Amino acid sequence: MQTIRVVLAAIFLGLFGLARPFVNCSALDGERGQAMPYSVSTLLLRNLNDVFGENDPVRRRAAIDAVFYDPKGGIFRGPDEIARIAGEIRATHRDFRYQPIAEPEEVGNGGRVRWVEGTPGKTPAYAGTDFIIARDGRIAAVYLFFDKLPPS
């Protein structure tokens, strides 16, 4: 179990860098149409379930396109990179599900949600907290922290 946690932490830290967000995800252009802005709480839950919790790559990419922000320049990872890493993570444990353990919390354009992940009906294998910064109703940056599992 510790090995899987270390591998997941290494994937996130190696791909995104320590405390570096991944940004510039879906573009707001004429081909994709105007995106619907979401509340910070909705963005937190959609990122947890519809991006990193989704097994189907087409639905995952649609969620990324719907909730991530394009800052129109700079250094960024983009939707393809996010779709790739979310798919790699899902492939390691397809039956795992994310479960928020508290309501999302919002402050200004930021927020956080605490969660556990594991096979439904079993003791969770991982715990974490996602922090986001939103811009124009979309995720501009997301930070993941692995936490100690809460007492069961």
The whole-model pTM stands at 0.66
Residue 69 pLDDT: 66
Domain 2-147, CATH number (from 3.10.450.50, 3.40.50.300, 3.10.129.10, 3.10.20.30): 3.10.450.50
pLDDT less than 50: residues of the chain: 1-34, 72-76
Backbone CA torsion sign across 49, 55, 59, 64: positive
Residue 110 pLDDT: 95
First-last CA distance in the chain: 16
Residue 50 pLDDT: 93
Residue 77 pLDDT: 66
Domain boundaries, the chain: 2-147
Residue 71 pLDDT: 52
Residue 35 pLDDT: 52
Q: CA 121 from chain center: how many Å?
A: 23
